Chains A and B, each alone.
Chain A
Amino acid sequence: MKVDQGLVELSDQLILGSLPVYTLAMLAFAVELAFRRTAAKAAVPAGAAVSGGAGASEGASAPGGVAVADADPESAAAAPRRAVNWGAFGVAFTVLGWAAHLGSIITRGAAADRWPWGNMYEFVVAICFAAVTAYLAFLVRHPVRHLGVFVMVPTILGLGIALRYLYVQAGPVVPALKSYWIAIHVSAAIIASGMFILAGVIGILQLMRWRYDGRTGAGKPVGFTAITRTLDLDQLERIAHRAIVFAFPIWTFAVIAGALWADRAWGRYWGWDPKETWSFITWIAYAAYLHSRATAGWKGRRSTIIQLVACACLLFNLVGVNVFISGLHSYADL
């Protein structure tokens, strides 16, 4: 089977093209966030503990989850000369970058005539894609536009690392990966990972926000955590929870599909291969998060920390296991 060199180049150019577009999106989102910040400053008396302050207006924009754009009443009121809708630019660039990203994945698969997740490079590119897709999907129904910058930063980092350190030529896969299970198992793992990572990013924002609140309350300098001052904690918590609730069954399915594949490929459905072990650990950690929210006194900060531990397990499985531990998962050769 020949690899179509033209398509390979197209795929590479599309992914290289998506990077600057995502960067523009990130900048636009950042400007939007900065405006919100000054707006919020005007709205909230200086020095007040703002745990609910800026959030209240945010919550008002989403009665019952009706599809609304991220209306920003306070900045409209406080910044009369608001000429540029930076957030809308951010979304537009994100969609554009997303389309190029998608095109790159499709052309790479078409070039080698196989599912385009046959090695670490392709896997990381696909997970970044899943995370951006998850963000865009949330955008349709939830007022999360201003979180764009926090999605773009890890996406750009992920793509950059993939291109710089993981890149391999498109080509055929080793025989172990020639199976329709790759479509099922790996796709599910990618979708779930994208959602989990999105939830992880939000979890970090929550922690920063709590710290910010704590510091303003104690009159200490807030430093970097100030970027979260206009975020709504309840909303963050809700989105993170929803992303995890969505991803968890998919992850469960991915692990089971992996077991089915392992049964076909390696002669046992479960063998505590490091990758299997860590996906199991990740699964348990997310299960613990879901349980912790049902346990009195754990909702909020503690459950967020569990969520982040789970996300760390997930990332360790994606990266650490490939780098530090060798197992049967053949795509792990960097």
Chain B
Amino acid sequence: MITWLRWAWRLLTSMRTALILLFLVALGSVPGSVLPQRGLTPEDVTKFYEENPGLAPWLDRFSMFDVFGAPWFAAIYLLLFVSLAGCVLPRAAQHYRAMRGRPPAAPRNLSRLPHTASVPGGTLALAEAELRRRRFRVNTGDGWVAAEKGYLRETGNLVFHLALLALLFAVGSGALFGYRGNVLVVEGDGFANTVAAYDKFSPGRFVDTESLKPFSFRLGDFTATYSTEPQRRGQPLDFSGKLSVREGGGQKTHDLRVNEPLEAGGAQVYLLGNGYAPTFRVTDGKGQVAFDGAVPFLPAEKGGFTSEGVIKVPDAQPAQLGFVGLFLPTTVTVGDSATSAFPAALNPTVRLFGFKGDLGLRSGAPQSVYQLNSDKMQMIKLPETRLAVGQSLTLPDGLGTVTFTGVKEWISLQITYDPGRFPALVSAALAVLGLVPALTVRRRRIWVRQTADGIDVGGLTRSEGGGGIEEEFESIVSSLRRSGEQESRELVKE
């Protein structure tokens, strides 16, 4: 049993296993980039299901739509972690001992080495001095000098691999102790960091959802600017949202932009998207204001930012009302049809389609705020007019009036808290720093042996990369020759 375990451990911690596991991580991530993933594009997964009803459930059984959260992916990841640890930690200890030890004695026969030279008249003492001057680590013995240089290679290598280990650890702990959520905020509205305030919230396994670090903010003005140049008309140039932030009793303002997230409560708040939220007032058949507020519309098209949305008025009397709206930020009419020519709200109009009846909200089943369930509703005949801001539409049969009161904008935010973020950065930086010497420094040994008429020098490198050691070897030998000649000249003079 013990021998079996030892065998398994050795197998797991061999470099080849680590490499295979690394390969498997790469291979495993291929389907994650080719197939739609739930975490990234859930709509596409649904579409895939519709288009491939036979195949999709099978793929799903192997977590192919959630590859990076799949048990088998986690298994590879964990094995890799263990393998790397088991491989690198002993090597680090070994290297530490090697660093403190001394270079091994010179082999008996230097002429077998790849680089050799004889220096008549040279002495061991001179060779030792020369090698020390070149910052070799030197060991001497009876009739020989051994020198070694390039420990930085192994050091860098170990730093790199240990940093990878730390990186895996940081990424893993970030996923367990961090959270991520999305929320949509309309101009003038606010957000407070509690789970309930999120539209979508995905916590790590060990996140205490009761006690997210408190902070809150309110969105003031949001501005999007678009290019007006002819060739790239409508290309977004800049987004900027003015936030007033409250955190720990303090208050500050932040200009939220695409590459400038807000940092609050240890979390980051990012601007993901934006859109229009036209505001409406609905007065019902009894003359009461049944709805008054902004309705976020979803962009249906990029160039002109035509947006669609749904107004639900459950409080309207005598019948519940629902509207589907088509919003055009810059309305241009050509013949009968209207389109939006520019993404900014230069000439906003909205076209409404009305329904009356039961919105189906009482059933308790969750409903999307962007979709109208018209199963139990009846279409109301509305004139084909587009409302400009301030205009109203009187509904037939005494159902009330709808007024298009104005245009606000919304932004969608992603809020992330990831405690592994900073450790991951440090380890990644260390990995690069370690990689450079690991690839470019050569570990090389030089041995010198006393001969009858001088010294023999031999050189060996086992690692590759960087320049060859020929040049260095030549240079050592020629300076030994020079100092040897000098020495003999001085001897002659004396």
Contacts and interface: CB of A to CB of B under 8 A. Distances in A.
Do A and B interact with each other, yes or no? Answer: yes
A16 interface: no
B176 to A, nearest CB: 15
A271 B231 contact: no
Interface string A248-262: 110011001001110
Contact of B259 (A181, A241, A295): A181
A176 B258 contact: yes
B192 interface: no
A281 B26 contact: yes
A185 B23 CA distance: 25
A267 B256 CA distance: 13
A278 B33 contact: yes
Given A249-B435, A270-B171, A272-B68, A176 B259 contact: yes
B259 A268 contact: no
A178 to B, nearest CB: 6
Given A169-B232, A252-B431, A266 B22 contact: no
Grouping DSSP codes into helix (H, G, I), strand (E, B) and loop, the A interface class, with mixed when no group exceeds half, is helix
Contacts of B23: 284, 288
Nearest to A182: B259
A241 B227 contact: no
Given A272-B29, A288-B19, A267 B268 contact: yes
B37 A269 contact: no
A175 interface: yes
Contact-residue bracket for chain B: 35 or more
A266 B268 CA distance: 10
Q: Could you say which of A271, A277, A280 has the most chain B C-beta atoms within 10 Å of its C-beta?
A: A277
A264 interface: yes
Contact of A291 (B15, B268, B474): B15
A284 B171 contact: no
Contacts of B89: none
Contact of B32 (A172, A252, A267, A277): A277
A274 B22 CA distance: 18
B421 interface: yes
Interface in B383-424: 414-416, 418, 421, 424
Question: Among the interface residues B33, B39, B425, B468, which one has the most CB atoms of the partner chain A within 10 A?
Answer: B33
Nearest to B424: A269
Contacts of A281: 26, 29-30
Contacts of B246: none
B25 interface: yes
Contact of A249 (B30, B67, B432): B432
Given A172-B237, A277-B32, A287 B468 contact: no
Contacts of B428: 256, 259
Given A169-B231, A245-B439, A272-B37, A174 B19 contact: no
A171 B432 contact: no
Contacts of A268: 180, 416, 418
Nearest to A170: B231
A273 B40 contact: yes
A277 B68 CA distance: 11
A65 B261 CA distance: 50
A128 to B, nearest CB: 25
B272 interface: yes
Contacts of B227: 171-172
Contact of A267 (B15, B261, B440, B470): B261
A64 B261 contact: no
A175 B258 contact: yes
Contact of A175 (B32, B236, B424, B440): B236
Contacts of A252: 431-432, 435
A287 B22 contact: yes
Contact of B439 (A249, A260, A274): A249
Nearest to A255: B428
Contacts of B436: 249
A272 B29 CA distance: 8
A64 B415 CA distance: 57
Given A64-B471, A175-B236, A293 B464 contact: yes
A241 B465 CA distance: 8
Contacts of B435: 248-249, 252
Contacts of B235: 171-172, 174
Nearest to B467: A65
Contacts of A273: 40
B242 to A, nearest CB: 16
Contacts of A272: 29, 32-33, 37, 39-40, 67-68
Contacts of A284: 22-23, 25-26
Contacts of A3: 229
A253 B425 CA distance: 11
Given A256-B432, A267-B416, A178 B259 contact: yes
Contacts of B237: 172, 175
B191 interface: no
Which of A65, A171, A174 counts the most B-chain CB atoms under 10 A from its CB? A174
Contacts of A290: 439
Contacts of B468: 64-65
Interface string A205-242: 00000000000000000000000000000000000010
Contacts of A241: 464-465
B207 interface: no
A176 B236 CA distance: 10
Contacts of A76: none
A38 interface: no
Contacts of A13: none
A204 interface: no
6 contacts: A3-B229, A176-B258, A178-B258, A245-B439, A253-B432, A278-B33
Q: Which 6 A-B pairs have the closest CB atoms?
A: A267-B270, A277-B33, A274-B33, A179-B259, A284-B26, A175-B258
Given A64-B470, A65-B471, A284-B23, 14 more contacts: A172-B237, A245-B439, A245-B440, A249-B439, A256-B428, A260-B425, A261-B259, A263-B421, A266-B270, A267-B180, A272-B37, A280-B26, A321-B33, A325-B34
